A and B are shown apart, each in its own frame.
Chain A
Amino acid sequence: MRLDSKIPDGQLAEKWYKHKFNVKLVNPANKRKYDIIVVGTGLAGASAAASLAELGYNVKAFCFQDSPRRAHSIAAQGGINAAKNYQNDGDSVFRLFYDTIKGGDFRAREGNVYRLAEVSTSIIDQCVAQGVPFAREYGGLLSNRSFGGSQVSRTFYARGQTGQQLLLGAYSALSRQISAGKVQMFTRSEMLDVVIVDGKARGIVTRNMVSGKIESHSAHAVLLCTGGYGNVFFLSTNAMGSNVTAAWRAHKKGAFFANPCFTQIHPTCIPVSGDHQSKLTLMSESLRNDGRVWVPKAKGDTRKPQDIPEAERDYFLERKYPAFGNLVPRDIASRNAKQVCDEGRGVGTSGLAVYLDFADAIKRDSKKVVEAKYGNLFDMYQQITGENPYEMPMRIYPAVHYTMGGLWVDYNLMTTVPGLYALGEANFSDHGANRLGASALMQGLADGYFVIPYTVGDYLANMPATKIGTDHAEFKKAEENVKGQIKKLLSINGTKTVDHFHKEMGKIMWDYCGMSRDEKGLTFAKKRMQEIRAEFWQNVKITGTNEELNITLEKAMRVADFLELGELMIDDALNREESCGGHFREEYQTPEGEADRNDDKFAYVAAWEYTGDNKPENLHKEELVFENVKLSKRSYK
């Protein structure tokens, strides 16, 4: 199969405009004859479900939480980018496009990224119209802040709760369509399979998480808006329930998985405090505007930070990157923190942390000023660690945060399965090998509000409105499949818990397929993942039955999929013999220790095709063509 990205011809700036004109439309009276399934109600899913229902389609939406308002998007803190140029500081659609392509280390598609930058401005208009309370200046106009990887102020925010306010906006639009009867909402429902009839996605199979009932839902198109897979590492900043199951099961039904090894590790998170650790908490990136990152110069220095004199401290980011200092992009800040800890210079009881020090900022600007900027973050830090960051430096360490990889989609957001779409973090499309801060919220809403309403219509216009009943053999087969897996899991009755396996595999992924990778480690990790997976299927312990609310069974199904995905991530990391963005291969670095990209051999999207249980996947390459930017080395020195 040849991968066709379906990027429209023509000038970059005209592609989307022309495409919108060229797509086929479904006439208003016919829209109500089509059913669309939207799995996930985060920013991508809620915005898509609401917009499609407004157009007249019948939508069925699903989420595993008790309410669509609780999707993981709710936790985003910092903000959302848009090329409004309200600050008159030289921003433009092209600049946002360029920053995103460069930030992604030239591993994303020009056409998609330009469209993202183009629709970014409408997102802000839309959200404001819904009543989203963005931060404002005294004159009543919208306020902006700057974020890593850009030299303009284009980030819109709502205190430290931007994701919450945007999601509640999308949730309110969704709620309006639910009350209008155009969206049927299924909460506490987990999608466990995609149903394909005559080569087209025609529905899904779900498990009702309260009763255990396995149910089928039929439609003319299926949208997966199911988020990222950072929890493959067990510890991450993602919500506890975030998982890969929907995307993975679609993958096994024919949807290619692109760039699975591209993972973003966020530099400023609260370090692990013990074995009981269940997740990691992000401390906003904005702290690096005023905090200085350092470790002791000497190995194994166990003195209290305040007892270490200035001359014996290493402000390693300022030393190595004088131009950007503490504000280098995320991947670079993370990797350097790991490096100094690997050298034995890490701080705290585990030695896996570096200091983020506000003493100078407090001296310079006063405690009051610092408190006004970061008060809530300092409180949160103190609540979690029991330490007061006004008096001693914060301890931070990188943590898994976001996954750039995901289901391969074309310009229309369609996967390699006709009628099956992927939106938001679940797809791979716009961030290349590294995502810039405040760009995930933008992408989720761009996909849902402004892209899919056009592109799904183009597909449906070519399709008869005839419905397929859920008594169709393919639905029955998929249901039996799901029931079979559940039965098998419940029958193992082994001796180790699901979390035990999840932690064990997470540690392998983190140690060998995390912030830096090499061939030897990856090869070892692959073997270990296979062993852990084999043991999981023989020795996992799950209590209870399917026909009840069963939290262990839910987790077990997700971990089973993570175990398979992990192996594919390792294969992808092994295949990519270069370093780019968040993917750092030890073997491929410059003499100064920076990522050494290889554009001649690896300027492509790696799209993996599932070929059967325990068989190696097939690699398909989508060459990336750059006509509007010059490939350059990222330098932040």
Chain B
Amino acid sequence: MKITLKVWRQKNTQDKGKLVTYDIKDASPDMSFLEMFDVLNEELLIKGEDPIAFDHDCREGICGACSMVINGKPHGPLQTTTCQLHMRSFKDGDTIVVEPWRAKPFPVLKDLIVDRTAFDRIIQSGGYVSVNTGVTVDANEIPIPKNIADEAFDAATCIGCGACVAACKNASAMLFVSAKVSQLAMLPQGKAESKRRVENMVATMDAEGFGACTNTGACEAECPKQISITNIARLNREYLSSKLTSEYVEA
């Protein structure tokens, strides 16, 4: 199949960047979207041109590295990751526009690669259970009803890709943050520090420059792991009750 690709090229964070057009003469429907980029990059290299930089690693939809906005949609037309998208989802003769995640807290490093370390800093501010290595309680001494374990699991499947931020007109990170807050708030292991956690994570999210959530639902619609916005409702509840009964007074 023939494809016209318009790809965002940007040398580095300072560069202004622009869309550049490439003609793909012979894509196979069995190729993954990223394999089409591999083939194009080989051609560019042979011509002595700089290949297109993009993030990827597992190519199995689980590491959360791949991150392309395809025809305006994070991860493209299917509700999956960029690496799990195949050319059979497109038609011969299509024009496809490919851009990086667009959000102020995710500056472009080069071409389609953005800096998502803000997500790591949010987790560092509270996305854990404070337990050191070497606990002595037996795992089965903390029974957890299956429905709660399953619900916590659903929230825990977030891959930290950032599509939710890229999809949101406010660049809100609420779906990402709420997934972690929910997982740990639902489990008995996470209860003890749930107030601190939600307050700190929300504060870090704001400080990193992510926008406010106005409940448009765009994040849920684009999330490749089907993280539900009910998690956002749960975060809001957690946050409110924590603020009402806060253990510490903010300066």
Q: Are A125 and B50 in contact (CB under 8 A)?
A: no
A277 interface residue per 8 A CB criterion: yes
* Cβ-defined contact, B62 with A161, below 8 A: yes
Q: Which residues of A contact B59 (CB under 8 A)?
A: 239-240, 278-279, 281
Q: Does residue B206 face the partner (Cβ distance < 8 Å to A)?
A: no
Q: Is A142 an interface residue (CB 8 A)?
A: yes
**With contact pairs A187-B117, A276-B35 given, residues A74 and B128 touching in the complex (Cβ less than 8 Å):** no
Q: Is A548 in contact with B128, judged by CB distance below 8 angstroms?
A: no
Residues of B within 8 A of A380 (CB): 61, 84
Name the one of A175, A543, A551 contacting B123, with C-beta atoms under 8 angstroms.
Answer: A175
Which chain A residues numbered 167 to 222 have a C-beta less than 8 Å away from chain B? 168, 171-173, 175-176, 178-179, 185, 187, 210
**Shortest Cβ gap from A76 to chain B (Å):** 9
Q: 8 extra interchain contacts, Cβ-Cβ under 8 A, other than A67-B120, A281-B60, A544-B50?
A: A47-B133, A69-B123, A70-B160, A136-B146, A158-B153, A172-B123, A499-B38, A543-B50
B115 x A133 contact (CB < 8 A): no
B46, B133, B140, B144 — most chain A CB neighbours (10 Å): B133
Interface string of A372-408 (1 = CB under 8 A from B): 0000000010011110000000000000000000000
* Residues of A that sit less than 8 Å from B by CB: 47, 50-51, 54, 65-70, 72, 74-75, 84, 86, 122, 124-131, 133-142, 158-159, 161, 163-165, 168, 171-173, 175-176, 178-179, 185, 187, 210, 239-241, 273-274, 276-279, 281-282, 380, 383-386, 449-450, 453, 495, 497, 499-500, 541, 543-544, 548-549, 551-552
Are the CB atoms of A164 and B140 closer together than 8 Å? Answer: no
Which residues of the other chain, B, contact A499 by a CB distance below 8 angstroms?
38, 42
Any chain A CB within 8 A of the CB of B103?
no
| A75-B83 Cα distance, complex, nearest whole Å | 13
* B109 within 8 Å of A (CB atoms): yes
Residues in A with CB closer than 8 Å to B39 are 276
CB distance from B125 to the nearest CB of A (A): 6
Determine which of A84, A142, A278 lies in contact with B32 in the assembled complex, contact meaning CB atoms within 8 Å: A278
Any A CB within 8 A of the CB of B214:
no
Assuming the A-B contacts A179-B125, A386-B30, A499-B38, are A54 and B149 also in contact, with contact meaning beta carbons closer than 8 angstroms in the complex?
no
Q: Which one, B45, B56, B119, B133, contacts A552 given CB within 8 A?
A: B45
Contact (Cβ within 8 A) B138 A66: no
From B69-77, B166-174, B181-189, B215-223, give the one contacting chain A. Answer: B181-189
Chain B residues with CB under 8 Å of A497's CB are 42, 45-46
Closest to A211 in B: B12
A136: nearest chain-B partner, CB-CB = B149
Docked CA distance A492–B131 (Å): 52
Report the minimal beta-carbon distance from B248 to chain A, rounded to whole angstroms. Answer: 17
B127 at the interface (CB under 8 A from A): yes
Which of A130, A164, A168, A276 touches B131 (beta carbons < 8 Å)?
Answer: A130
Could you write out 13 A-B pairs with CB less than 8 Å apart? A54-B133, A65-B63, A129-B137, A135-B149, A175-B127, A276-B36, A276-B39, A278-B59, A279-B59, A384-B84, A449-B133, A549-B113, A551-B51
Taking CB atoms, residues of chain A closer than 8 Å to B35 are: 276-278
Q: How far is the CB of B117 from chain A (nearest CB, A)?
A: 7
Q: Contacts A138-B146, A158-B153, A279-B59 given: A131-B116 contact, CB under 8 Å? A: no
Whether the Cβ atoms of B51 and A384 lie closer than 8 Å is no
Given known contacts A69-B64, A276-B39, A552-B45, is B143 in contact with A176 (CB within 8 Å)?
no
Contact present for B146 and A140 (CB under 8 Å): yes
- Number of B residues whose C-beta is below 8 Å from A? 77
Q: Contact check, A125 vs B138: say whether CB atoms are below 8 A apart.
A: yes
Chain A nearest CB from B4 CB (Å) reads 19
Asked if B246 is an interface residue, CB under 8 A from chain A, the answer is no
Q: Which B residues, 21 to 40, have Cβ-Cβ distances below 8 Å to chain A?
A: 28-32, 34-36, 38-39
Determine which of A134, A495, A552 lies in contact with B51 in the assembled complex, contact meaning CB atoms within 8 Å: A552
| Contacting pair A67 B140 (CB below 8 A) | no
The distance from the CB of A430 to the nearest CB of chain B, in whole angstroms, is: 20
Give which listed residue, A66, A161, A500, contacts B157 with CB less than 8 A.
A161
Known: A67-B117, A125-B136, A161-B157. A383 touches B62 (CB 8 A): no
Interface residues of B in 94-124 (CB under 8 A from A): 109-110, 113, 115-117, 119-120, 123-124
* C-alpha gap A582/B135 in the complex (Å): 37
Q: How far is the CA of A51 from the CA of B133 in the complex (A)?
A: 6
Q: Mark B146-166, 1 if CB is under 8 A from A, else 0.
A: 100100110011011000000
Contact with A along B77-103 (1 / 0, CB 8 A): 000100010101000000000000000
**In the bound complex, do residue A543 and residue B48 qualify as a contact, i.e. CB atoms below 8 Å apart?**
yes
Known contacts A75-B60, A142-B139, A549-B12: does B51 contact A130 (CB below 8 Å)? Answer: no
B234 at the interface (CB under 8 A from A): no
The 3 closest A-B CB pairs, nearest first, are: A140-B143, A172-B128, A128-B139
B residues near A126, Cβ cutoff 8 Å: 133-135
CB distance from B98 to the nearest CB of A (A): 16
The answer on a CB contact under 8 Å between A168 and B31 is no
- Chain A residue numbers with a CB within 8 Å of B149 are 133-136, 140
Chain A hits for B117, CB < 8 A: 66-67, 187
Which of A47, A72, A134 sits near B58, CB closer than 8 Å? A72
Establish whether residues B124 and A84, one from each chain, have CB atoms under 8 Å apart when the complex forms. no
Q: Which A residues touch B110, using CB under 8 A?
A: 210, 548-549
